[in-house]
Amino acid sequence: MIYWIKKLAFMAFVASFFAVFFATLDYSNIFAFETLLPSLAKATGAAILFWFIGFIVGDMVLKGIVEHVGAPETEKDRIEGGLLQRVQEMKKEQNPEARAHSEAAAASAQKETA
């Protein structure tokens, strides 16, 4: 997944570099140092900005949409990090009374639904 994110960010980098470079270049005197240097500076700045934005947006789109589309609802929390579930599991492991209480509550809930 990270391979494609880097590829998309690099494509945005190259496209923006050439677009800004040729858009800001003075065509009356192409090889003049006074026009070439500012065009290169602007193009490099735009390319770096587009690479950074492309990397962030690509990460959000590819990881946020592509990986979460087919996941069942019970596994989505685990995919998204599952921090709350991990904290609850750690508390249960550290406190045996809470574990016994939660197991008793779960057993009584199962009896009520049956």
pLDDT of the residue at 71: 55
What is the greatest pairwise CA distance in the chain? Answer: 86
Tell which wins on pLDDT, 101 or 41: 41
Reported as a single tens digit per residue, the pLDDT across 48-76 is 999 999 888 888 887 777 666 655 555 55
CA quadruple 62, 66, 68, 69: dihedral, nearest 10? 150
| Average pLDDT over the chain, rounded to an integer | 79
- pLDDT category at 84 given cuts 50, 70, 90 is low
Tell which wins on pLDDT, 71 or 29: 29
The closest alpha carbon to 13, from 44, 58, 59, belongs to: 44
Buried b (16+ CB within 10 A) or exposed e, 69-91: eeeeeeeeeeeeeeeeeeeeeee
What average pLDDT score do residues 76-104 get? 67
For residue 107, what are its two tokens? 């057993």
CB 39 within 8 A of CB 45: no
Q: Report yes or no on whether pTM surpasses 0.85.
A: no
What average pLDDT score do residues 75-93 get? 65
pLDDT of the residue at 113: 66
Instruction: Give the type of residue at 25.
Output: L
Please tell me the distance from the alpha carbon of residue 63 to that of residue 79, in angstroms, as a whole number.
10
